Structure 1
Amino acid sequence: MKPRFLIISLLGGSLLVMLCIASCSRKHLDVQVPMALTGKDSLQIKADSLLGKSTPIMGYRFVITGDFDGDKITDTLIERYTDSLYIKEAPKYYTSADTTFEYSDVLFLNSYLEYKSFINWKQKQLRLPGGHLGFHYIENCGDVNDDGKDELMLVNQWGDFSNCNSAHFYTYADGQWEKIYTTPIWEWQFPPTPSASMFPGLFGNFDYGTTDDVADNAALEAQLKAFRFIKWYPDHSVEFNGRNDIGVNGNDAAYAELEKIGDMAYIKKYFRRAVLNDSLYFRRIDNPSIYYRAGGATYNEDGEDVPLLPLDDGASDVTTRIFIRHPQSPFNTTRR
């Protein structure tokens, strides 16, 4: 083979190899390699899908007035449910013709979008945080700690599947809200809110309903504003109903003693009978400011009808009466 032909052959072969490499590289680049979705991507896809098949419902906003700082001027507290920056009002609920759109989807969207719930006292620049879906109920409950100011009671609307909740009492002191009392309640004790509301059942809280009927919403708002959780008496006592908060349920030592000596002996040891407004109550010995209305009855050894308290049943309905001016009133932290 002549040298010149050899060189040409080698150059031709090298060129062919380069063309093959370029062609193969181009084919490699054209192959679509699947990209793995991150958890963040999956959440965004789910949120976009839910938002695309639903209509937002703003929901109700509580507006509460009263003299909460004792300056004899009416204060206004406004419920806010906003975007993550606390600025723009956001929807609490969503409605959809898609039967697969559920309460859990509402909770997911509001959590994913980081909506903020609070009751705002604009003049004081104070916020009290609410639940995942705002507030189930808010009330100006009057001056329950006898300090010359109105107090606030609220029930948060949590993103859960239970109707068991708590009512929290707040007073304004030293430039901020201070929680002074909490009592267990059921959410079904309170009226529904206009526009959209939860449907709390006996054993859970699994659904919500919406309405855009003007007359229906007006009636719902009138009912809500007329409702009062706290009942006042002229003897400076207040009364309310809720889940059992007597204190035996969940207290191992108290429960063991109750099991050992029985209901009637336990009541006789820790409570005193009292009649208020022709109704029988039991007054706590350890805190005489607190009374419980007598509940069901049983019979003693002599066949006598003996009223009892639902001591160890946390799901029992109990009427609690508190004398707010008593030195041991649980509403007032300064008297403890």
Structure 2
Amino acid sequence: MCARLLYIIVAFFCICSCGGARHKGDKLKPNADAASEEKSVDTLAQKPQPAFGYRFVISGDFDGDGKQEKLVEHFCDSTGAKEVDKFFKGDYDDDVKMLHSRKCHSFLKCDNNLIDAPPIEPLPNFGLLFLKNEGDLNGDGNDEISFVTNKADWSNLNDYTIMTYKHGKWETLYWFPIWEWQLPDLPRKAYNLKLYGNQEDVIDTTDQRLLKELESFSGLVKKINNKKLQIIYRSRDISADTIIVSLKNHHPKL
């Protein structure tokens, strides 16, 4: 019995000794792997995550020739040739700083080459916060458009611009001041435009909800007649107010 117990004890120490033995070069391997993995995680956390950002597309008879044209929003690199991500990190300050350094080009393009695209101003910007075909607001047979530029600033103040295509160029028909919170939030990671080579419609459920809200949003303008509009604007007296304005003026009294 004692001999058997002694044999078990000796065997146990031999197994432990063999299992604990390492080559000289192997001692650092587990620690090196851990350090490498930790560095990889840190690098991934620090690397800016791209967000393609929503692009608007609208159709309408903008020149009054009875045919439909299409206006497409683009956000490209400094050359204007390659479509790029609008946003990176979730932090807005970092997005603004990165936008200034990238010198991206934001513009609308019409599929009718005879029609110049309306300007997206001011620069730099993250493209558009809103774009809509408002229909024929002034009775001239052309569809008017409205848009709001996504300014790269820290202000919640903005302008809602209505433009009409007349005499071969886009002209401002009317504009009025708004708060940016009057508009729905845009999806940051939506790839819903397949013309950019992205096959996925939506990345996550948040973007799905935002897309539905955007599609159901009717805008801030309603036609009363060929000379008057009802608008929801940024009032001097209260946060937002609904009033009827005349198209002969370019903006409401502030």
The verdict on a shared fold, with TM-score over 0.5 as the criterion, is yes
* Cα distance in 1 between the residues matched to 2:85 and 2:159: 24
Partner of 2:98: 109
Give structure 1 regions of 4+ aligned residues with deviation exceeding 4 angstroms.
233-237
Match 2:78 to one of 67, 84, 97: 84
Match 2:110 to one of 118, 121, 124: 121
Residues 330/194 of structure 1: CA separation in 2 closer, same or farther (3 Å cut): same
CA drift of 1:52 comes to 6.5
* Cα distance in 1 between the residues matched to 2:146 and 2:70: 14
* Cα distance in 2 between the residues matched to 1:61 and 1:55: 18
SS in 2 for 1:148: coil
* Cα distance in 1 between the residues matched to 2:140 and 2:152: 34
1:232-311 superposed matches below 5 A: 232-233=223-224, 237-244=228-235
Match of 2:75, as an amino acid?
Y
1:178-193 superposed matches below 5 A: 178-193=171-186
Match 1:154 to one of 139, 142, 147: 147
> 1:194-215: CA deviations, max 9, x gaps?
2359xxxxxxxxxxxxx930x4
SS in 2 for 1:126: coil
* Cα distance in 1 between the residues matched to 2:169 and 2:226: 30
1:191-230 superposed matches below 5 A: 191-195=184-188, 212-213=203-204, 215-229=205-219, 230=221
CA drift of 1:153 comes to 0.7
Provide structure 2 residue ranges, at least 5 long, that are not aligned to the other structure: 1-42, 191-201
1:152 touches 1:171 (CA, 8 Å); kept in 2? yes
Residues 146/234 of structure 1: CA separation in 2 closer, same or farther (3 Å cut): closer
CA drift of 1:322 comes to 3.1
Structure index of larger Rg: 1
> 1:69-124: CA deviations, max 9, x gaps?
1011111100000011111111111136xxxxx32221111111110111111323
State whether structure 2 residue 166 is matched by structure 1 residue 173. Answer: yes
Between Structure 1 and Structure 2, how many residues are aligned? 192
* Cα distance in 1 between the residues matched to 2:211 and 2:92: 23
2:52 touches 2:86 (CA, 8 Å); kept in 1? yes
Bigger Cα displacement from structure 2, 137-146 vs 178-187: 137-146
Match of 1:55, as an amino acid?
Q
Match 1:330 to one of 246, 249, 254: 249
Partner of 1:56: 50
1:35-54 superposed matches below 5 A: 53-54=47-48
Provide structure 1 residue ranges, at least 5 long, that are not aligned to the other structure: 1-48, 97-101, 198-210, 245-312, 332-336
> 1:33-91: CA deviations, max 9, x gaps?
xxxxxxxxxxxxxxxx9x97211111000001111110111111000000111111111
* Cα distance in 2 between the residues matched to 1:144 and 1:322: 13
Match of 1:111, as an amino acid?
H
1:195 touches 1:212 (CA, 8 Å); kept in 2? no
SS in 2 for 1:156: strand
Residues 315/161 of structure 1: CA separation in 2 closer, same or farther (3 Å cut): farther
RMSD: 2.7
* Cα distance in 1 between the residues matched to 2:134 and 2:216: 13
Q: Taking every aligned residue pair, what percent have the same amino acid on both sides?
A: 32
Partner of 2:195: none
State the TM-score, normalized to the length of structure 2: 0.67
* Cα distance in 2 between the residues matched to 1:134 and 1:121: 16
CA drift of 1:314 comes to 5.5
2:130 touches 2:147 (CA, 8 Å); kept in 1? yes
* Cα distance in 1 between the residues matched to 2:144 and 2:224: 17
SS in 1 for 2:126: coil
The structure with higher relative contact order (CA 8 Å, sep 6+) is 2
* Cα distance in 1 between the residues matched to 2:226 and 2:72: 32
